[in-house]
Amino acid sequence: MNYNPSQEEINFVNHALEEFNTTAVGPDNHELLNIVEYDSKGNVIAGILGGTYWGWMHLDILWVDEKYRKSGIGSRLLKAAEEEAAQKAAEEAARAEEEEASQSGKTYLGTFKITAYCHCAKCNGRAGQPTASGAWPYSGHTVAMGGVPFGTKLLINGTVYTVEDRGTPYGHVDIFMDSHEEALDWGLHYLDVYQVN
């Protein structure tokens, strides 16, 4: 057993672990997360050093100059680090989602406003009418949205819908329901929407 390995041997062990982790759980997407604070003259008076792995934040060092301790600087640095780590995690999740969507024949359109409507006069102006495309609407299939051709398939919350109606702009999907009560119960949601290619 060697208690003083060479840099090459250390690099080998690090690389071997990285390969195993990447195979088991995907790349760690490690990014440094270092923040410092200054006084009025531009001198460093506090700092937090760490990074993010797999969407988690880790901190190695939190230091505040003795003259500035118990003034809230450490807490502010921690809060800033948490917010930055959360932003990095959200960006990485969005990138992963887009990559997965593109590999599975879907195109990520964004987080859209999702509401619901039915066949009644309150929702449509006139009751019992076909959709703007001429098709008869039915629940679990028909949605309304402008900006895309009729027949466009949208994946929302695990269900594939077909754009057959208008009445809402691009970015706002109205899902057809069988009754006004169901439409009201649905309420308002903001969900990820994919176009199925």
pLDDT at position 122 is 86
CB burial of residue 77 (10 Å; 0-12, 13-18, 19+): buried
The answer to whether residues 82 and 62 touch, using CB atoms and an 8 Å cutoff, is no
The answer to whether residues 31 and 56 touch, using CB atoms and an 8 Å cutoff, is no
Task: Please name the fold of domain 7-103.
Answer: Aminopeptidase (3.40.630)
pTM of the model: 0.51
pLDDT at position 28 is 80
The answer to whether residues 150 and 185 touch, using CB atoms and an 8 Å cutoff, is no
- Give the chain's largest Cα–Cα span: 83
CATH 3.40.630.30 range(s) for the chain read 7-103
pLDDT at position 102 is 65
CATH 2.40.40.10 range(s) for the chain read 106-196
pLDDT at position 105 is 79
Phi-psi region of 158 (alpha: psi -120 to 50; beta: other; left: phi over 0): left
CA distances from 22 to 3, 15, 178 (A): 27, 10, 47
CATH number of 106-196: 2.40.40.10
Q: Classify each residue of 129-163 as buried b or exposed e, where b means 16 or more C-beta atoms within 10 Å of its C-beta.
A: eebebeeebeeeebbbbeeeeeebebbbeeeebbb
Residue-wise pLDDT tens for the chain (197 aa)? 999 999 999 999 999 998 898 888 878 888 899 999 999 999 999 999 999 888 789 999 999 999 999 999 999 999 999 999 988 887 777 777 767 766 677 888 999 999 999 988 888 777 778 899 999 999 999 999 999 999 999 999 889 999 999 989 999 999 999 999 999 999 999 999 999 87
Q: What are phi and psi of 172, to 5 degrees?
A: -130, 110
Rounded Cα distance, 143 and 155, in Å: 11
Q: Where are the beta strands (DSSP E) in the chain?
A: 31-38, 44-53, 56-64, 106-117, 142-144, 153-156, 159-165, 172-176, 189-196
pLDDT at position 185 is 93
Count, residues in the chain: 197
Rounded Cα distance, 93 and 110, in Å: 13
CB atoms under 10 Å from CB of 107, counted, come to 13
CB atoms under 10 Å from CB of 90, counted, come to 11
